[in-house]
Structure 1
Amino acid sequence: MRPRHDDPEIPDDVVGRDLDKVARNELKTLNKENAEEVARHLVMAGRLIEENPELAHLHATSASRRAGRIGVVRETLAITAYATGDYALALRELRTFRRISGSNEQLALMIDSERGMGRPERALEVGRSVERSTLSVPSQVAVAIAMSGARLDLGQADAALTELEIPQLNPDVAYSYSPELFDAYAEVLAELGQDEESALWRARAERADLALNGEPDDTIEVFEEEDDGSVQSEED
């Protein structure tokens, strides 16, 4: 028997339409009433993941109990489980998500879940199990960061730096993933005792973050990916 689970409350103003269109499309195999409730729980999970991951996980669990065969539902359950530190559950749900969807886009989270379970060698094996060119560029970057972290777990700082030396490590342009990539590179440089170079990349990470999310900087170019896969640039 499954353990008792009480659905967390959802504010009346939260509606299924608040869920993004791609995710809503996955719920079309459900009846209308169930799809609405699942969507509302997914919306709440997304809203709460940063400030209250435990409550977000309860919403994801409620969605899973209503629609356990839907990829986005199992993906959300995995993400919230990871956020609460339940890496074993996260890994199990990520495997289920991959089996349902055929997608490897959450490979980085699988690597980090293995790391969270204290298995960096296994994390590296998981990362090498998928050809990175088959992933979207943001996912490729996320995998590089996760693999670098696994190398650091093993005390392999030089290899950790190599993992991050990818084409996207370009200080002159900024994508959504650039601040995290630059910051990870700075962290490894610091581990190697290259403090001056590390400080330079920390500054680049901050500048990229400002260009993307805050006050613009006139020395960096921001790029956004269009829906058709093309790239649009915007001079700051």
Structure 2
Amino acid sequence: MAALLVDEDPETANLHALSAARRAGRVAVVRETAAITAYRTGDFATALRELRTYRRISGRNDQLPMMVDCERGLGRPERALELGRSVDRAALETPVQVELAIAMSGARLDLGNPTAALGELEIPQLDPSTAYSWSPALYSAYAATLEELGRQDEADEWWARVDRAAAALEEAADDNAWETVDVVEEEVEGHDEHGAGGIDDTEQLGDDTDERDDADQLGGDTAELDDPDDELGEIDDDNPRDVEGSAAD
């Protein structure tokens, strides 16, 4: 229910997640879902607490980008950068590396340093020749940062690449192939406004953190482009409902 409702009604989705936490508060995906739904409601403090608990239970760092973003949401960009640097990025899965780069870039922008923000995004995955599932968000963040630096002509080129990457991925999805797709690059006379890429958390709400499909993992989809602490409450196993807050039954 949290996954079904998180886009249209994140507050109710969060109530379902809290209800699940009352029943299975020591299950990693439950605490992860509570974190994601809290994040979607803008409750960054609760989201960060739940993400720390999820990380402790699961031993995974796949939600590190969201943790960094929560620190940003709490007005602590320096702590966000410190957290992002606390893990060896090479040990993270590629989609997580990309999301972390975007979150770290945002923290640099929060500190008024767009040059450093651009540097955070200049990673090997910033490849204009091939579209992966993470490419539109990464290209968008890069374009927006170029605009911050007053480099509008370059920004326009990357905004155009956002559109081409999204179109190529959509075509691959329509073909049910998820294989490389050749796309003819065309002159784009105009483009829609785009914001910097954020954390795409909707698809992460699932039944199992370790057994998600390729779309949920934000990886594996490519298309060729021709281009010039446990703060929910200590869960009492004998009294699993002893948790503050209300939740959907």
Q: TM-score, structure 1 length as denominator?
A: 0.75
Q: 1:78 and 1:219 mapped to 2: Cα distance?
A: 41
TM superposition shift of 1:219: 3.5
1:102 aligns with 2:66: no
Q: Residues 168 and 223 of structure 2 are in contact (CA less than 8 Å); yes or no, is this contact kept in structure 1?
A: no
The correspondence of residues 11-90 of structure 1 with structure 2, limited to 5 A, is 44-90=1-47
1:180 aligns with 2:145: no
TM superposition shift of 1:157: 0.3
What percent of counterpart residues are identical? 61
Q: Residues 14 and 34 of structure 2 are in contact (CA less than 8 Å); yes or no, is this contact kept in structure 1?
A: yes
Q: CA offsets per residue over residues 127-175 of structure 1, 9 Å max, x none? A: 0000001110000000000000000000010000000000000011011
Q: 1:232 and 1:154 mapped to 2: Cα distance?
A: 34
Aligned pair partner of 1:137 in 94, 97, 107: 94
Higher helix share: 1
Q: Residues 126 and 135 of structure 2 are in contact (CA less than 8 Å); yes or no, is this contact kept in structure 1?
A: yes
Q: 2:113 and 2:84 mapped to 1: Cα distance?
A: 16
Q: 1:102 and 1:84 mapped to 2: Cα distance?
A: 25
Q: Residues 146 and 155 of structure 2 are in contact (CA less than 8 Å); yes or no, is this contact kept in structure 1?
A: yes
Q: Residues 207 and 217 of structure 1 are in contact (CA less than 8 Å); yes or no, is this contact kept in structure 2?
A: no
Q: 1:46 and 1:232 mapped to 2: Cα distance?
A: 22
Q: Which moved more, 1:50-59 or 1:177-186?
A: 50-59
Please, which runs of 5 or more residues in structure 1 have no aligned partner?
1-43
- SS of the aligned residue for 2:53 comes to helix
Q: Residues 172 and 219 of structure 1 are in contact (CA less than 8 Å); yes or no, is this contact kept in structure 2?
A: no
Aligned pair partner of 2:183 in 218, 228, 233: 218
Q: 1:140 and 1:205 mapped to 2: Cα distance?
A: 19
1:148 aligns with 2:105: yes
- SS of the aligned residue for 1:114 comes to helix
TM superposition shift of 1:96: 0.1
Q: TM-score, structure 2 length as denominator?
A: 0.71
Structure 1 runs of 4+ aligned residues shifted over 3 Å read: 214-217, 230-236
Q: Residues 133 and 220 of structure 2 are in contact (CA less than 8 Å); yes or no, is this contact kept in structure 1?
A: no
Q: 1:203 and 1:154 mapped to 2: Cα distance?
A: 28
Using CA pairs under 8 Å that are at least 6 residues apart, name the structure with larger relative contact order, 1 or 2.
2
TM superposition shift of 1:213: 2.1
TM superposition shift of 1:204: 0.4
- SS of the aligned residue for 1:123 comes to helix
